[in-house]
Homo-oligomer: A and B are copies of this chain.
Amino acid sequence: MQEESGSSSYRPLEPGCLFAGAAERRDDRPGHTAVDFPVAVVLPAGGSGERMGLPTPKQFCTILDRPLISYTIQAFERLSWIGTIVVVIAKENHDLMLNIVRKFNHTKVKVVHGGTTRHRSIFNGLQAFSNTSDDSLTPKPKVVIIHDAVRPFVEEDLLLKITLAAKEQGASGAIRPLVSTVIATTSEGYLDHSLERAKYRASEMPQGFLYDFIFQAYQRCSEFDFEFGTECLHLALQYCGTNAKLIEGPPTLWKVTYKRDLAAAEAIIKETLSMSAYIITEDDAEAVKLAKTLQKNLATLNMMVTDIIPCAKEINSDSLSKTLNFIQISENGSNFSGVLEMVKSFEDTNHSRLYPVVIVWVQLNMTKQSFDTQKADDLKSFMGLASDVLQGNILLYGIQIDHSKVPEQWERSVERLAQITVALIRDRNAALTGQMLQA
Contact = CB atoms under 8 A, between A and B. Distances in A.
A1 B189 contact: no
A80 B201 CA distance: 41
Contacts of A266: 1, 263, 267
Contacts of A437: 432, 435, 437
Interface stretch (A37-45, A83-91, A417-425): A417-425
Given A56-B5, A436-B438, A255 B179 contact: yes
A383 B438 contact: yes
B260 A268 contact: yes
Contacts of A189: 245-247
Contact of A244 (B55, B190, B255, B261): B190
A386 to B, nearest CB: 11
A376 interface: yes
A136 interface: no
A379 B438 contact: yes
A63 interface: yes
Interface string A41-77: 0000000000101111000111101010000000000
A180 B438 CA distance: 49
Nearest to A99: B4
Interface residues of A, number: 94
A180 B383 CA distance: 48
B435 A419 contact: no
A9 interface: yes
A434 B180 CA distance: 45
A245 to B, nearest CB: 6
A229 B254 CA distance: 26
A292 interface: no
B376 A370 contact: yes
A182 B190 contact: no
B438 A438 contact: no
A245 B190 contact: yes
A219 interface: no
A15 to B, nearest CB: 13
A200 to B, nearest CB: 5
Contacts of A183: 175, 200-203, 231, 233, 246
Contacts of A376: 370-371
A181 B379 contact: no
A431 interface: yes
Contacts of A234: 191, 193-194
Contacts of A62: 1-4
A127 interface: no
B9 A54 contact: yes
Contacts of A114: none
A96 B376 CA distance: 50
A134 interface: no
A96 B204 CA distance: 38
A263 B233 contact: no
18 contacts: A3-B56, A13-B258, A176-B180, A179-B202, A180-B202, A182-B201, A182-B202, A183-B200, A183-B202, A189-B245, A191-B233, A194-B233, A260-B267, A263-B264, A370-B376, A371-B371, A371-B375, A371-B376
Interface of A: 1-5, 9-11, 13, 51, 53-56, 60-63, 65, 67, 96, 173, 175-176, 178-186, 189-191, 193-195, 197, 199-204, 230-231, 233-234, 237, 243-247, 251-252, 254-255, 257-268, 370-373, 375-376, 379, 383, 416, 419-420, 422-423, 427, 429, 431-432, 434-438
